[in-house]
Amino acid sequence: MKVLVTGAAGFIGAQVCKALTGAGHEVVGVDAMLTAAHGDATTPPEGVLEVDVRDASGIASLLPGVDVVCHQAAVVGAGVDASDAPNYGSHNDYGTTVLLAEMFAAGCDRLVVASSMVVYGQGGYDCPVHGPVDPLPRTQKDLDAGVFEHRCPVGGEELRWRLVGEDAPLRPRSLYAASKTAQEHYALAWAEATGGSVVALRYHNVYGPMMPRDTPYSGVAAIFRSAIERGEPPRVFEDGGQMRDFVHVTDVAAVNAAAVAADTTGFAAFNVCSGRPISIMDVATKICAAREGQPPVVTGQYRSGDVRHIVADPAAAAVVLGFRAAIDPTDGLREFAFAPLRG
């Protein structure tokens, strides 16, 4: 098949192109080469065209003959402050609407879109007394007092995290999350209106070689790495007990290849995760141990809008797409401690 990959020069997009080419597909890659993603690199790598998905004519010129669009292009990260909102809305949401419109005009009816775990908001929780509950957001008073776990809205009991399935409500709690939720909604509406097929891949914490090194938009694993390389201990927010799922970029590329090849109809969303939950403290500790750096420091500090736990159920991707992550975070983080990063 002929596949158009947006964000093809990015951390994830480059690996997706590699996986698709290896699977025998003809790949056309485009990237806007944003500074936030590529730093000082101003020209795309060989084989990638410098095209912004918001450029309707540029995208339209590439769509004839394309069977599937694999849409990775996005501004990522939780954002610095509210002034980032137009940037997320422009690149992630307006860019997606332009792409969808041009796909319709070209008769291309299959889309694989990179979504994110952040669409779930606070994640899933069980009360030992009242069962599954939807906790209220954590208060500043509790956070300042070092009370980081959610409490039951009925009886005040401390809640336990549970795996989140794809049928969980979408409740974004950051600018990035709002933009990814809107992106999914546009894609769903497009599929309903056109009869097209959309696979939304909800990535969890993606890490691996060539991850952006240390910006306000970088992933936490890269930020820990950068601290160690500066001779500093990684600084862990809250008490380090936040649970996440870290999935290696080569596994993310593999699920994209599976989604491109899958025979799906309508709109379908899938968690993309390792299925092996790990705490943020454990992530920092593993990277420190591999690099023989100073042990992480628990700061007790917190960031407004951060969620306590968000861990996904990988079952649907295994059943429908045949995808199971191959790399255990324990092995992957050990390798990541020495992997090359983007400046």
pLDDT digits (tens, 9 = 90+) for 185-211: 999 999 999 999 999 999 999 999 999
| Level-2 CATH architecture, domain 2-123+164-337 | 3-Layer(aba) Sandwich (3.40)
Residues 6+ apart with CB under 8 A from 315: 165
**What are the tens digits of pLDDT across the range 287-312?**
999 999 899 999 999 987 789 999 99
**CB proximity list for 20: less than 8 A, separation 6 or greater:** 3, 5, 27, 70, 256, 257, 260
Phi, psi (deg, nearest 5) at residue 124: -115, 140
Closest-CA residue to 152 (of 121, 171, 131): 131
Q: How far apart are CA 183 and CA 242, in angstroms?
A: 27
Helices (H), 160-279: 175-194, 220-229, 249-261
Instruction: Work out the burial of residue 155: count CB atoms within 10 Å of its CB; fewer than 13 is exposed, 13-18 middle, 19 or more buried.
Output: exposed
So where are the chain's domains? 2-123+164-337, 124-162
- CA distance linking residue 36 with residue 56, whole number of Å: 22
3-state helix, strand, coil in the chain (%, to 5): 35, 20, 45
The region of weakest confidence among 114-123, 172-181, 216-225, 277-286 is 216-225
pLDDT digits (tens, 9 = 90+) for 40-94: 777 889 999 999 999 999 999 999 999 999 999 999 876 667 888 999 999 999 9
Residue 246 and residue 332 in contact, taking contact as beta carbons nearer than 8 Å: yes
What pLDDT, in 10s, does the model give residues 328-343? 999 999 999 999 988 7
Structural tokens at position 140: 């500043």
Tokens 């899933």 found at: 124
Outline where DSSP puts E strands in 134-282.
160-162, 197-203, 205-207, 235-236, 243-244, 246-248, 267-272, 278-279
